[in-house]
Structure 1
Amino acid sequence: MNSAHYRSDLMALSIAIIAVSTSGPMIAACMAPALAMAFWRCFFAAGVTAPVAWLKHKEGFKNLSRKDIKGSLLAGLFLGLHFATWIPSLKYTSVAAATALVATQVVWAAIIARMMGVSTPRKEWIGISISLVGVVILTGIDFSLNPRALLGDLLALAGAVLAAAYMATGQQVRPRITTSVYTTIVYSAAAVVLLVLALITGSDLSGFEQRDWILILGLTAIAQLLGHTMMNLALRSLSATTISLAILLEMPGAILIAWVWPGQKPPLEIVPALVLIMVGLVIVVRSSRSNLQTKTDQEFQP
C-alpha cells in the first residue's frame, strides 16, 4: 500500500464526513421552502457535473443503452423523492432525529436485497433488529416530547427507504456508466421530479433572502459536491467497508454541528435510542460487507 495515498485518502474521508455532516444543520437553518432547497440543490449539482461529463465523457452519453438510461432515470426519481421527504423532515423534527433515522437506509437496503433474493446473514438480522428497536424508541420519545415531530420522523424514515431504493437501483447501472455521466443524469432527473412536486404543491422557488441562497449554495457545494467527491477519492486506497462505517459518523457529526449552529441541543431522552440505532447500523454494515472484505481491500490497493 502506498502510505502517502493512504494518509491523503484518510484526510479526504475525514473532510467528506465533515462536509456531509453540515447538510442537516444547513437545511434546518435555511428558511426557504423544503422543496425549493431540494430542487436547487439538485439543479446546481447537475449544472456542475454536466459540463464536466460532456467535455470528458461525451462518448459516454452517446453509448448509453436504453436499459442504462431507464435505470439512471429511475435512480433519479428515487433520489428526488428521497430529498422531497428527508429535507422537509427537518422542518418538523430535530437534526439529531432526522439524521439518525435517514441513516437507517443501510437497514432498508438489506431488507430490499433480501426481497430480491439475496441471502441475509443472521448477524445482519440482529443488527437490523437493534436499529429498528432504536427507531421505535426514538419516534416514541419524539412524539411524547412534541406530537408534531412524529411527522418529521416518518418523513425521515421514508427518506431512508427511498435512499436505499436509489442505491439499489444505482448499483445495477453504475458499473457500466462513468461517474460524471451517471450523476448528471441522476441529478437532472431528480431536479425535474422536485420541480414538478414544487409546482404541484405551490412551493415558492424564488424570492428568498440572500442568507437562504447562500445556505442553498453551501448545501450543494459542501454537502453534495465536496462530500461525495472526497468519498470517491478515498476509495483509491480505503476499502468500501471502511468508508461505509465512516459515513455513519455523519450522525454524531451533524448533531454536534447543529448543537453549535443553529443551536439545536439534542434532548437527553433520545440519546439511548441514537446509540441503539448506531450500534445496529455498525453490525449491519460489518456483516453485509464481511464476505466481500478481502476482495474489496485487494481491489482498491494501488
Structure 2
Amino acid sequence: MKSRIILYIALFLGVFSLSTSAIFVKLANAPSSITAFYRLFFTALLLLPFLLLNKGNRQELFSLSKQQWALGLLSGLFLAMHYVLWFESLNYTSVASSTVIVTLQPLFSISGGYFLFKERFSRGAIAGCFIAIIGCFIIGWGDFQVSDQALFGDLLAFIAAGIITAYFFIGQYIRKNLSVIPYSFLGYVSSAFFLAIYAFSQQISFTNYSLQTWKSFIGLACIATILGQMIFNWLLKWVSTSVISMSILGETIGTCVLAYFILDEVISLQQGIGIMIILVGLALFLFQKNKAYKKHDSSSAV
C-alpha cells in the first residue's frame, strides 16, 4: 500500500495535467476524432520504449491471459467510444453543457463501486459528491440550452460519462495483476486503432495540419495523457474508481484557471462561486473517504 499522501499528491498532479486537455484541444485546429487519435497514438509511441526496453513489462504483455487481452482491448474501445460520443455531443450542445454532463461520472462510479466492488460510502462522502456536482452545474449553468437538438447532445455526453466510468472500472479490476505500462499501452494502442477506423470512415485527413496543431497533439499526449490519465491508471491499483471520478471534477477548476492565464479568458463571479463549491465538495468527499480508509486500516491491524 502506497502512502496516502503520495497517492493524493499524484491525484492532484493527474487532475491538474488533465485540466490542460481543453486548452490543447482549443489550440489544435483539427477535427475532434483526429485530435483524439493523435493524442493516444503519440502516447503509445512514447510508452513503446518503456515497454520494449523493460524485461518485466515485455514479459507481462506477452504473457497476458485471454481475459486480460479481452479486457485491455475493451478498455481501449470504451476510451475511443467516450471520445467519439463526447466530441459528437459538441455538435449539438454547448461546450459548457457537454463538459458539465460528462463530469457526472461520479454518479456511475459510486453506483458501480457499490455493486461491483462492494464499496461503501458514508452520508458525508455522498453529500460531498453532490455538492461538487452542483458546483460544476453552477459553472456551466449560464450556457445550458433548451431544445431537442441540445437535449440529444446532452444525452450523448451523459452516455460518454457512463462509458469512461466503465473504462476506469476495467482498469481497477485488471490493474490488480498488471503493471501500468503494459495495461496503458494496450488500451491506448487499441483505442487509437478504433479512432483511426472512425476517422477513416468519416473521410477525414490525417495530415496537412499546422505546426501549432501538431504541438497541441504532442501536448495532449505528454501532459494531458501521460501526466494526467495515465497517472489515474497507475493509481487504480490503490485508489478506487469513485475517488478518481470525484477528483476529475477538479478538472473544471484547472481548466478555468489555465484558460485565464493562457487564453486570457475571464473567470466570472458565477464560475468563481462554482469553483469554491466544487472544492468544498471534493474536500468533504476525500476527507470522508480518508476517514474510512483509516478506520479500515485500524480494524485490519487488530
In structure 2, the residue matched to 1:63 is 63
Identity %: 28
Is 2:179 the partner of 1:197?
A: no
Q: Secondary structure at the match of 1:118?
A: coil
Structure 1 position 216, deviation (Å): 0.9
Alignment of 1:1-302 (within 5 A): 15-56=13-54, 57-87=57-87, 98-116=98-116, 118=118, 120-121=120-121, 123=123, 124-127=125-128, 129-130=130-131, 141-144=142-145, 153-228=154-229, 247-265=248-266, 268=269, 279-280=280-281, 283-284=284-285, 286-287=287-288, 290-293=291-294
* Deviation per residue, 1:131-176 (Å, 9 max, x gap): 6666777776423499976666544433322211101111111111
Q: What residue ranges of structure 2 are gaps of 5+ in the alignment?
A: none
* Deviation per residue, 1:184-233 (Å, 9 max, x gap): 10001111111122122233322211211111111111111133566688
Alpha-carbon distance in structure 1 between the residues aligned to 2:89 and 2:240: 32
Alpha-carbon distance in structure 2 between the residues aligned to 1:96 and 1:80: 21
Alpha-carbon distance in structure 1 between the residues aligned to 2:117 and 2:240: 25
RMSD: 4.3
Alpha-carbon distance in structure 2 between the residues aligned to 1:275 and 1:77: 35
Aligned length: 294
**Does the CA contact (< 8 Å) of 2:128 and 2:285 recur in 1?**
yes
Q: TM-score, normalised on structure 2?
A: 0.75
**Does the CA contact (< 8 Å) of 1:248 and 1:278 recur in 2?**
no
Structure 1 position 14, deviation (Å): 5.5
Q: Structure 1 residues 138, 149: CA separation in 2 closer, same or farther (over 3 Å shift)?
A: farther
Structure 1 position 183, deviation (Å): 0.6
Alpha-carbon distance in structure 2 between the residues aligned to 1:210 and 1:275: 37
Alpha-carbon distance in structure 2 between the residues aligned to 1:26 and 1:48: 18
* Deviation per residue, 1:59-93 (Å, 9 max, x gap): 11222111111111111111111222334556776
* Deviation per residue, 1:3-56 (Å, 9 max, x gap): xx9999887665544322211111123220000000111111111112311221
Structure 1 position 234, deviation (Å): 8.7
Q: TM-score, normalised on structure 1?
A: 0.75
Alpha-carbon distance in structure 2 between the residues aligned to 1:8 and 1:137: 31
Alpha-carbon distance in structure 1 between the residues aligned to 2:279 and 2:155: 18
